[in-house]
């Protein structure tokens, strides 16, 4: 038996969350001894394939049909099911995402598989197959057993560090059965939020809150984000007031993020905002109120006036660069 990893790409670039999924599979392989097979669909840049071997892939397969670039769910699920059988896999690993969730649910039926989403740790295989997953927007965890022979694991972002010391692996092109019927639903247009770095894929996010007093003060957020090559976010009150566009709203009812570093500036830390950022690897809070709830969730906190601290922080980072 073996492991199959399904990777996602965006405009030819492999997503970092998918590289985490490959590294997760590599760590799982060390426990199970199974081969790690990786499948990519659509157009992917040549330079990006090298990352997969370094992340832990043993074999890489590519279905290059350009119709797959738009992420048609039925088509991707149809291909994965075929490759799953071809490599004699028993475990499918993929990143938890909008596309990943939709594909995984269909494959659970196609493969008669047990599906666990929001996985945050390697399975315990001492007595069966038990995985840890987060529930209640990250407020709690549960151990879930998968008794089914075939298993699907949707990995939560920041669960596994990306491996970089693997060997380069050649890419094998695959021809699969791909009838027109799987393209019955078509994606005719995709509108993406503008900006140099988009929130869902950002490794660093800088967010501002209502404590900045108005949109005219947002330059300090933009300046810090620029030197850090970070995405910009905001709290819900800020977007509700029209200071910032709604696609920058981070929180339970906005965009959920899980960057390596989340910097919250002048945000009190309401529970709805925390639910959208608690997957972050490191949280830094800057707030002049020492009793701000956000400090309880912070890895690092600075008590002080953002108008004094943020410009100095930005200049210090520029000097380091």
The residue among 253 and 104 whose pLDDT is bigger is 104
157 and 86 in a common domain: yes
d(CA 27, CA 90): 16
Considering the domain boundaries, does residue 55 fall inside one? yes
Does 39 share its domain with 176?
yes
271-289 pLDDT per residue, tens:
999 989 988 999 999 999 9
Mark whether 231 and 286 lie in a shared domain.
Answer: yes
pLDDT of the residue at 184: 83
Percent of the chain with pLDDT over 90: 74
Enclosing domain of residue 279:
199-320
> Mean of the pLDDT values across residues 52-81?
92
Q: What percent of the chain has pLDDT over 70?
A: 98
> Considering the domain boundaries, does residue 149 fall inside one?
yes
Ranges 58-67, 110-119, 173-182: which has the least confidence? 173-182
- For residue 192, tell me if it sits in a domain: no
Min mean pLDDT across 116-130, 157-171, 193-207, 242-256 is at 193-207
**pLDDT at site 84:** 97
Q: What six digits make up the tokens of 146?
A: 């998968």
| Exposed / middle / buried, residue 213 (Cβ in 10 Å: 0-12, 13-18, 19+) | exposed
The arithmetic mean of pLDDT across residues 159-170, rounded, is 91
Higher confidence at residue 175 or residue 204? Answer: 204
- Name the nearest CA neighbour of 97 among 22, 3, 201: 201
The reply to whether 42 falls in a domain is: yes
- Asked if residue 219 and residue 111 are part of one domain, the reply reads no
Instruction: State the CATH number of the domain containing residue 99.
Output: 3.40.50.620
In this predicted structure, what is the pLDDT of residue 191? 67
- Does the global pTM surpass 0.85? no
pLDDT tens string 227-250 = 999 999 999 999 999 999 999 999
Q: For residue 270, with 0-12 CB atoms within 10 Å meaning exposed, 13-18 middle and 19 or more buried, which class applies?
A: middle
**pLDDT value of residue 265:** 97
Res 193: pLDDT: 59
Residue 191 domain-assigned (yes or no): no
Together in a domain, 90 and 66: yes
Looking at residue 175, what is its pLDDT?
87
- Domain end position, chosen among 123, 155, 183: 183
Burial class (CB in 10 A: 0-12, 13-18, 19+), 43: middle
250: domain CATH number is 3.40.50.1220
Token pair of 316 as six digits: 């210090």
pLDDT confidence of residue 321: 79
More confident residue, 315 or 177: 315
Paired residues of 131 in beta bridges: 144
Binned at pLDDT 50, 70 and 90, residue 108 comes out as very high
Confidence of residue 195 (pLDDT cuts 50, 70, 90): low
Question: What is the tally of structural domains in the chain?
Answer: 2
One domain, residues 123 and 211: no
Q: Are residues 168 and 210 in the same domain?
A: no
Asked whether residue 197 carries a pLDDT value surpassing 80, the answer given is no
Binding-site residues for FAD: 210, 287
Per the annotation, binding residues are: 210, 287
Q: Which of 43-47, 181-185, 291-295 has the lowest mean pLDDT?
A: 181-185
Give Cα 135 distance to the centre of its chain.
16
Q: What is the mean pLDDT of the chain?
A: 92
Which residues, at least 6 apart from 247, have a Cβ–Cβ distance to it below 8 Å? 193, 199, 255
Residue with the bigger pLDDT between 146 and 11: it is: 146
Kindly state the average pLDDT of the residues 10-18: 90
Q: Does 24 lie in the same domain as 164?
A: yes
> What pLDDT sits at residue 127?
86
What is the average pLDDT across 156-174?
A: 91
Of 65, 75, 72, the residue nearest 43 (C-alpha): 65
Residues 6+ apart with CB under 8 A from 123: 28, 31, 129, 130, 131, 146, 153
- pLDDT computed for residue 89 by the predictor: 97
């Amino acid at each position: 038996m073996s492991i199959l990893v399904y990777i996602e790409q965006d405009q030819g670039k492999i997503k970092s969350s998918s590289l985490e999924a490959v590294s997760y599979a590599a760590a799982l392989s060390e426990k199970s001894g199974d081969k790690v097979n990786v499948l990519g669909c659509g157009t992917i840049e040549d330079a990006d394939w090298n990352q997969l071997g370094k992340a832990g892939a043993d074999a890489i397969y590519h279905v290059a049909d350009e119709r797959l670039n738009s992420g048609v769910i039925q088509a991707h699920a149809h291909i994965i099911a075929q490759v799953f059988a071809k490599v004699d896999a028993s475990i499918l690993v993929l990143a938890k995402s909008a596309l990943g969730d939709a594909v995984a649910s269909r494959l659970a039926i196609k493969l008669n598989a047990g599906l666990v989403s929001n996985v945050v740790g390697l399975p315990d295989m001492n007595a069966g197959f038990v995985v840890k997953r987060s529930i209640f927007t990250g407020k709690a965890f549960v151990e879930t057993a998968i008794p089914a022979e075939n298993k699907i694991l949707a990995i939560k972002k920041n669960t596994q560090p990306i491996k970089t010391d693997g060997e380069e692996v050649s890419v094998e092109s695959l021809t699969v059965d791909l009838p027109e019927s799987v393209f019955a639903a078509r994606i005719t247009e995709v509108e993406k939020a503008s900006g140099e770095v988009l929130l869902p894929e950002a490794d660093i996010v800088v967010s501002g809150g209502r404590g900045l007093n108005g949109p005219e003060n947002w330059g300090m957020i933009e300046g810090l984000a620029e030197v850090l090559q970070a995405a910009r976010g905001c709290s819900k009150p800020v977007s509700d007031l029209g200071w910032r566009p709604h696609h920058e709203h981070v929180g339970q009812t906005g965009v959920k993020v899980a960057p390596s570093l989340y910097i919250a500036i002048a945000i009190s830390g309401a529970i709805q905002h925390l639910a959208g950022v608690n997957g972050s690897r490191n949280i830094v809070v800057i707030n002049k109120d020492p009793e701000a709830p956000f400090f309880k969730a912070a890895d690092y906190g600075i008590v002080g006036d953002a108008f004094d601290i943020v410009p100095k922080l930005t200049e210090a980072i520029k000097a380091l660069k």
